[in-house]
Amino acid sequence: MPGRGTIKSTQQSDSRGWLHRLGAAARAALTVLYPWRCLNCAICLPADHAFCLKCQGWIQVIHSPLCTRCGRPFASRVGPDHICSQCAQQPPSFRHARAWAAYSTPSGSPQPLRQSILRFKYERNMRAGKALAGLTAHHFSLAQEQSAGQAADYDLVIPVPLHLTRLRWRGFNQSLILARAIGLRINTPVDPWLLSRTRPTSPQTKLSREDRRANVRGAFQVNTPALAKGQRLLLVDDVYTSGATVEECARTLYQNGARSVDVFTAARVVDL
Ligand SMILES: [Zn+2]
Ligand SMILES: [Zn+2]
């Protein structure tokens, strides 16, 4: 499990942005005028840091032992990865899904990751989006490194698409921003047009597991099947809740000839 130092060093290494092309004096002046603040508690931070150490400590990074298919972490913290009972009964279409961190922490504790994702998606806070994208890409790389020489190669990174009505309301697809950061990190093209959502779907949050599957059934289409055929695809979304959305995306991609579909999300709902 990467410690605070790992996250901190990555945030620092990600800081080769426009701010760092300015001179030191200009940077210092800008930092005084527009200080970087923790996305959760708003205390001032060094430039390009997303969370203060205290809030960072509340984020529960997901790590082994977990389900080899859906990435669900197990309550027991010992033993090897293995398939969970749910995936054994009903195997998902995708090869495997992994996530950076738990979407929610135990009730009553601060929720830095969930709050940041909500600010990104519903308050259109692009600083939160940029920070989350950088951290998601960093943790995707870590997961690849920790796969003990079995890191997958991908031909394309595919964001889970929004329906046009939702895209127009929000103004951006949060999954595309995460996908672009990962694509840049692994030097793999991102195709936001390969998969589209053909009808608006109800928010999944208040639906039962079966209703979620029915809600997204047939909701996606591959626009150019020739571009999916034989391709090794990495599907990216912001939150893995029941897995119904990425399952339906993966099913649609396989129906159109994809060679493999893996999933990575910034956060995952963990029901321990
Ligand atoms: Zn904080
Ligand atoms: Zn599973």
The DSSP bridge pattern shows strands 44-45 and 36-37 to be antiparallel
Give the model's pLDDT for residue 264. Answer: 98
- How many CA atoms does the CB half-sphere of 164 hold within 13 Å? 3
- Report CA(83)–ligand 2 centroid distance (Å): 6
- Report CA(163)–ligand 1 centroid distance (Å): 34
For a pLDDT cut of 90, what percent of the chain falls above it?
62
- Of all ligands present, the nearest one to the C-alpha of 49 is 1
For residues 267 and 100, the answer to whether their CB atoms sit within 8 Å is yes
Residue 37: pLDDT band by 50, 70, 90 thresholds? confident
- Report CA(224)–ligand 2 centroid distance (Å): 30
**pLDDT higher than threshold 90 for residue 84:** yes
Residue 149: pLDDT band by 50, 70, 90 thresholds? low
Q: Alpha-carbon distance 30 to 36, whole Å?
A: 10
- Report CA(83)–ligand 1 centroid distance (Å): 36
- Report CA(56)–ligand 1 centroid distance (Å): 7
- Report CA(165)–ligand 2 centroid distance (Å): 32
- Report CA(46)–ligand 1 centroid distance (Å): 12
Q: Alpha-carbon distance 232 to 106, whole Å?
A: 36
Model confidence pLDDT, tens digit, residues 245-262: 999 999 999 999 999 999
Mean pLDDT to the nearest integer, 34-46? 84
**Structural domains of the chain sorted by starting position, each given as residue range(s) with its CATH number in brackets:** 60-268 (3.40.50.2020)
**pLDDT higher than threshold 70 for residue 75:** yes
Give the model's pLDDT for residue 272. Answer: 61
- Report CA(125)–ligand 2 centroid distance (Å): 32
DSSP element (H, E) containing 171: none
For residues 133 and 180, the answer to whether their CB atoms sit within 8 Å is yes
